[in-house]
Copies of this chain bind each other. A is one copy, B any other.
Amino acid sequence: MAEVSDKIAMIVLFGVFIRYDEESDTGRWLELKKHENITSDVENDFYFRYPSFQDVHVMIFVGFGFLMTFLKRYSFGGVGFNFLIASFGLQWALLMQGWFHSLDHTTGKIYIGVESLINADFCCAGCLIAYGALLGKVSPVQLMVVTLFGITLFAVEEYIILSLLHCRDAGGSMVIHAFGGYYGLAISWVLYRPKLHQSSRLNGSVYHSDMFAMIGTLFLWMYWPSFNSAITDHGDGQHRAAINTYLALASSVLTTVAISSMSKKKGKLDMVHIQNATLAGGVAMGTSAEFMITPYGSLIVGFACGIISTFGYLFVTPFFEKYLKLQDTCGVHNLHALPGMLGGFIGAIVAASASEAVYSKEGLINTFDFEGKFANRTVGTQGGYQAAGTCVSIAFGIVGGACVGLVLRLPIWGDPADDNCFDDEVYWEVPEEEESIHPILEYNNHMVHKHQDISESNFSVEQS
């Protein structure tokens, strides 16, 4: 029901506010072409944003969705609720981001194009990150609430950071990852379940569920260069953002593997690290990908974050659970919150150390958009604002998340019992047959009491 009424409200709001922008509206596109002497329809921005948009779209729905299928009996919830959250979130995001960023005050309308779709998907990413911390412990209705407030908070902090503080954050280390990560962690902290161990039997993966999660990991990893370059300036900006992200990600993989194997007896690798820490380089490059961080700078960022993120999974998450009473199902702290925060500060440093020698005078202005009322800002000041922006995103995440968490503690949301967490049975019609794995165990337990020769059963096994 919630969804239906939501949708009707959404339709009304879209009817009142949302219109096609001048590149997607027939008449206005014709005007624009005349007005700006555009000779060909293929100069429409669609052709230079849409491929990146589709890559981002895949990251949101398959990347995040399948990354959260690693739990043995919560794969439906992982990919299914991700689907629900993102589909609801992107519509709400078009409205919220529109109101804060692109509301035309003369007409009172929001004009959307492909870039709006990318931003809407970005906005969802913040809430999906938060979902990662809550995975298996909340109800779909609670997730809708998390998304509703999450998108709203996102639009506000994004407005403050990008518009008021005039920070650059192409790939959203600050506005997406640091915010989303701390938002989810704060909610999870407020919703702490002392008796969660009662469903510990389900809080783990099986062989095939780890393989499904790798689908998510790889699509996130491969398309991250598109994520960080999707809304950067056309030309060298997008080109450089893709290269930097590509290098940082490759670098993360190697250090993650190294630390993971060093941490285990017999040097065995842990799938949890491979599925997550390998992505830290992309998160950390979110802010500085479009800057002249240099190729080896990108490798260093990936190198460091692969190490930090893996150590996070080894030590920080257990520490949080034990001492901070913070249960972080997917370890979003290590994959998003921490690398996002680092990415914000790396961006500040790279910005502060920018120089005309490296960027050229015009290049510096283009890259940092030192125009209008920011024409006189120096790179040093810019660096300071970037750092400030990072703190703002974290503050919004923690405070906002704490408040939303309190709302979610109301006993009206139908969240699962402590011994029903991480279990699809609660919210999904789960097919019977799959159970055919379990009865045997039951059956064996049962046979403990009755002693029988079952060699015949062997025979049938050999036969089959």
Contacts and interface: CB of A to CB of B under 8 A. Distances in A.
Contacts of A278: 83, 87
Copies in the complex: 3
Interface in A172-211: 204-208, 210-211
A339 B433 CA distance: 32
Contacts of A23: 235-236, 239
A438 interface: yes
Contacts of A376: none
Interface in A141-179: none
B257 A296 contact: no
A377 B299 CA distance: 43
Contact of A440 (B52, B257, B440): B440
Contact of A439 (B62, B211, B461): B461
Interface in A1-52: 1-4, 6-8, 10-12, 14-15, 18-20, 23-27, 29-31, 40-48, 50-52
A357 to B, nearest CB: 9
B454 A11 contact: no
Interface stretch (A268-276, A318-326, A383-391, A393-401): A268-276
A207 B206 CA distance: 12
Contacts of A407: none
Given A117-B243, A454-B444, A4 B258 contact: yes
Nearest to A249: B87
B42 A204 contact: no
Contact of A269 (B27, B46, B58, B80): B80
A451 B72 CA distance: 33
Given A83-B253, A226-B54, A366 B26 contact: yes
B250 A87 contact: yes
Contact of A363 (B26, B210, B250): B26
Given A254-B84, A440-B440, A432 B367 contact: no
A443 B457 contact: yes
Contacts of A313: none
A455 interface: yes
A412 interface: no
Contact of A42 (B31, B234, B268): B234
A73 B80 CA distance: 23
A122 interface: no
A112 interface: yes
A207 B29 contact: no
A192 to B, nearest CB: 26
Taking residues whose C-beta sits less than 8 angstroms from the other chain, chain A's interface range is 35 or more
A97 interface: no
Nearest to A275: B80
A69 interface: yes
A243 B433 contact: no
Contacts of A50: 51-52, 242
Given A51-B51, A235-B29, A456-B450, A206 B434 contact: yes
A268 B14 contact: no
Nearest to A435: B464
Contacts of A362: 30
Given A240-B20, A429-B268, A439 B451 contact: no
Contacts of A113: 239, 243
A69 B211 contact: yes
Nearest to A262: B1
Q: Most chain-B CB neighbours within 10 Å: which of A267, A292, A431?
A: A431
A406 interface: no
Contacts of A31: 360
Interface in A224-264: 225-226, 233-240, 242-243, 246-247, 249-251, 253-255, 257-258, 261-262, 264
A432 to B, nearest CB: 7
Interface stretch (A128-136, A214-222, A345-353): A214-222
Nearest to A91: B250
21 contacts: A11-B251, A25-B240, A26-B358, A30-B363, A41-B236, A46-B238, A47-B48, A50-B242, A54-B55, A62-B219, A66-B215, A83-B221, A87-B254, A114-B242, A268-B429, A436-B440, A437-B437, A443-B457, A443-B460, A446-B460, A454-B454
